[in-house]
Amino acid sequence: MIDLMASAAFGADTNPTEQEQQDALQAHFQPHISADEIEQVYHLKRAQPLLQVFTALFHGGFEGVLVRLLVLRELANETTSSAFSRADINTRLAYLLPESRETVLNRLRSNGLLAWDAQQSVYRVTPMARNVLSAIDGLLALAAPDDDAEMGFLLSQVAGAQAVGGITTEQLQHLLGRLVDLTEEFRDAIASGSEFRLRESQAKWHQACDWVEKGSEILRAITSDENADSATHRAAQAIGRAQSQLLNMQGMFSRALNQIERQRVHLGQSGLSTTDIKRWLLAHEDLSSLAEDAIDQPVKPLFITPAEMIDVAETELMTERVNNQGLNGLPTGQDAPTTINDSPAMQRELDDWLARLSDFAQLNNFPAVAEGSPREVKVHEALLPATFALASYRASMLPLLGDEAEASMQGTTAELARLPVRFVPQDEMVQLPDLEIAAISLAALTLELDKTQESAKSDE
C-alpha cells in the first residue's frame, strides 16, 4: 500500500523542464564531453516516450510493479470490447482494494497506458500499452526454464524483425554477443577438467546447437537480401562464424571426456569409480543424514586400575625386548607377485582403429579412380562393420585427423592426427542396410597425396 501511494505521488509530480533534464543528464558525463555528441544518447532520447512507459510500469518495489502489470493485463486481455466503463473495471478488478485500484488507474492514465474518453466516460487501452505487454509476454514465454542456452528470445526477435523487414544491427549484435559468451563458457568448462562441469556444458551445447540450426535459415535469408545494408551483412557473417566455432567444439568435448575416461580411478574390482561415488553423494541433499544409525552402539568408556596398567606395560616391554634380540640380517627374498595386464578396452579399440586408418592411408589400398583425382573412402565403409557403440567411438575420433595441435603431442591420438588423411563431412545422410545403424552422415576420408609423397621421400 505504501509503495502504491508513493507511486501515485511520483506520477503526480510536475515534469521537469527540458533544460532541467539536459542539465541532470550532463551531470553524469565528463565536463569536456557533451551528452548530445554520443550517438547512443541520441537514439535513447528519441525513444523517451516509450522508456517513460517502462519507467511508469517498473518504478518502485516488486509488489507495486506486479499490481500495475496485473491491472493492465486484465484490461488488455478483454477482446469483446475496447472500452471499459468505471463499473466494468470495478467488476473485473473487484479483488483489489478500492484505493489501490484507483492509484494504479491514475498511474496508468497519467503515463499514456490508459486513455480516458471524456465524451463516452470510458477507458481504453492505448496501442503503446499493447506493444509493451506484447514484448513482456514474449520475453516471459521464450525465457523458459529449460532453455539453458537462453537464445530463444534473442533469436525470436531476429526472426520476427527479418520477417517484417525491420531487422536492425543492434538485434544481430545481441545475438552475436550471446554466442560469444556461450563459446567462452564452454572453453572454460573444457579447461577446468571437471567431468560434471563438462557434461553439464555439453548438454547446454546441444541446446545451443538446436537454436543454431533454427537460426541458420534466418541468416541465409539476411545474407541473400540485396536490400540489407553492409553493416547488417557484416553482423550476419560474424554470427555465422561464431556459430561455426560453437559447432566445432564437439571434438573438444569428446577429447576432454575421453581423457577423463582414461584417467578415471576404479575402486578395486568392484566396478565403482570415484565418479560414481561423487554422483551418488550429489544425489543426497543432506550429507549429514548419511551418518544416522551408522554406529550401532554408543561409545562406552573403559576404566582400568593401576595394577592392570602395570601388567600391560610389562607385557609390552618384554615383547619389545624379544623382538630386539632377533636377527638383524636382511629378510629372505620373495618372488614378485604376478600381475595381469588390465589395460582398458577403450585403448585397445583406439589402437585397432589407428591400425585400420593407417592401412587406409596406404596409397595402394584406396580405390583406383581417374588420374589426378583424390583417393577417398566413404566414412561408413571405414566405420562399419561394428556395433553402434564402437562405430560412435570411431566417429568421435575422426575430427582429430589433421588437427595440428593434437599432432604436436605424444600418444595414440597424436599418431592418428598425423595420418595423411583428411575428414570431409557433408550435411546429407545416407541410409545403411545395417542392423544397428540405420543412417549415418555422408562423409569421406580423402588421402592427402602431398603429405603421402613427402612421407615416402623422408623414409627414403
Q: Per-residue pLDDT for 92 more than 60?
A: yes
Q: Three cell numbers at 436? A: 544397428
> What's the pLDDT at 42?
80
Cell 525513444, located at residue: 47
Domain boundary among 210, 238, 259: 259
In tens, the pLDDT along 58-86 reads: 888 888 888 888 888 888 887 777 788 88
Residues 80 and 115 in one domain: yes
Amino acid identity, position 455: S
| CA of residue 225 relative to chain centroid, distance | 31
Which residues, in sequence order, are CB contacts of 15 under 8 Å at separation 6+?
A: none
In whole angstroms, give the CA distance from residue 159 to residue 172: 10
Angle between helices 62-76 and 127-142 (to 10 degrees): 110
Mean pLDDT across the chain: 76
Number of structural domains found in the chain: 3
Domain boundary among 225, 259, 293: 259
Residues 115 and 193 in one domain: no
Q: Per-residue pLDDT for 144 more than 60?
A: no
Between the CA atoms of 163, 159, 141 and 207, what dihedral angle is there, to the nearest 10 degrees?
A: 150
Q: Quick count: other Cβ atoms within 10 Å of Cβ 176?
A: 20
- Residue 313, domain member (yes or no): no
Residues 188 and 91 in one domain: no
- Residue 276, domain member (yes or no): no
In tens, the pLDDT along 349-403 reads: 777 778 877 776 664 554 544 444 457 778 888 788 888 888 888 888 888 888 8
- Residue 297, domain member (yes or no): no
In tens, the pLDDT along 208-255 reads: 887 777 778 777 777 777 777 788 888 888 888 888 888 888 888 888
Burial grade of 256 (CB within 10 A; 0-12, 13-18, 19 or more) = buried
Q: What is the pairing mode between strands 83-84 and 122-125?
A: antiparallel
Which residues, in sequence order, are CB contacts of 216 under 8 Å at separation 6+?
A: 243
Residues 197 and 250 in one domain: yes
Residues 153 and 133 in one domain: no
> What's the pLDDT at 370?
41
Answer with the residue of higher pLDDT: 311 or 264: 311
Residues 108 and 61 in one domain: yes
- Residue 333, domain member (yes or no): no
Provide long-range contacts, Cβ within 8 A and 24+ apart, for 151-159.
151/175, 151/178, 151/179, 151/182, 151/208, 151/211, 151/215, 152/211, 154/178, 155/211, 155/214, 155/215, 155/218, 158/215, 158/218, 159/215, 159/218
- Residue 267, domain member (yes or no): no
Residue 109 · residue 123 · CB < 8 Å: yes
- Residue 283, domain member (yes or no): no
Using a cut of 0.75, tell me whether the model's pTM lies above it.
Answer: no
Q: In 3-state terms, the chain is what percent helix, strand and coil (to 5)? A: 60, 10, 30
Domain boundary among 123, 138, 153: 138
Which residue range forms the structural domain that includes residue 206? 145-259
Q: What is the pairing mode between strands 376-378 and 421-431?
A: unpaired
Side-chain-side CA neighbours of residue 382 (13 Å)? 31
In whole angstroms, give the CA distance from residue 210 to residue 37: 42
Residues 127 and 239 in one domain: no
**DSSP reduced 3-state for 343:** coil
Among residues of the chain, what percentage have pLDDT more than 70?
Answer: 79
Q: Three cell numbers at 170? A: 543492434
Residue 102, domain CATH: 1.10.10.10
In tens, the pLDDT along 183-212 reads: 888 888 888 878 888 888 888 888 788 777
Residues 186 and 99 in one domain: no
Q: What are phi and psi of 442, to 5 degrees?
A: -75, 120
Which residues, in sequence order, are CB contacts of 432 under 8 Å at separation 6+?
A: 380, 384, 438, 439, 440
C-alpha torsion sign, points 242, 243, 246, 250: negative
In whole angstroms, give the CA distance from residue 316 to residue 391: 65
Q: Per-residue pLDDT for 301 more than 60?
A: yes
Amino acid identity, position 336: A
| CA of residue 430 relative to chain centroid, distance | 30
Residues 10 and 122 in one domain: yes
- Residue 23, domain member (yes or no): yes
> What's the pLDDT at 456?
47
Q: Per-residue pLDDT for 13 more than 50?
A: no
**DSSP reduced 3-state for 123:** strand
Band (pLDDT 50/70/90 cuts) for residue 7 is very low
Residue 444 · residue 391 · CB < 8 Å: no
Residue 89 · residue 123 · CB < 8 Å: yes
Residues 94 and 173 in one domain: no
Which residues, in sequence order, are CB contacts of 71 under 8 Å at separation 6+?
A: 93, 96, 101, 104, 105, 108
Provide long-range contacts, Cβ within 8 A and 24+ apart, for 443-446.
443/378, 443/379, 443/398, 444/376, 444/377, 444/378, 444/379, 445/357, 445/360, 445/376, 445/377, 445/378, 445/379, 445/382, 445/398, 445/401, 445/421, 446/374, 446/375, 446/376, 446/421, 446/422
In tens, the pLDDT along 441-453 reads: 888 888 776 655 5
In whole angstroms, give the CA distance from residue 89 to residue 92: 5
Residues 162 and 199 in one domain: yes
- Residue 275, domain member (yes or no): no
Residues 132 and 149 in one domain: no
> What's the pLDDT at 234?
84
The pLDDT of 310-335, averaged and rounded, is 72
Band (pLDDT 50/70/90 cuts) for residue 323 is low
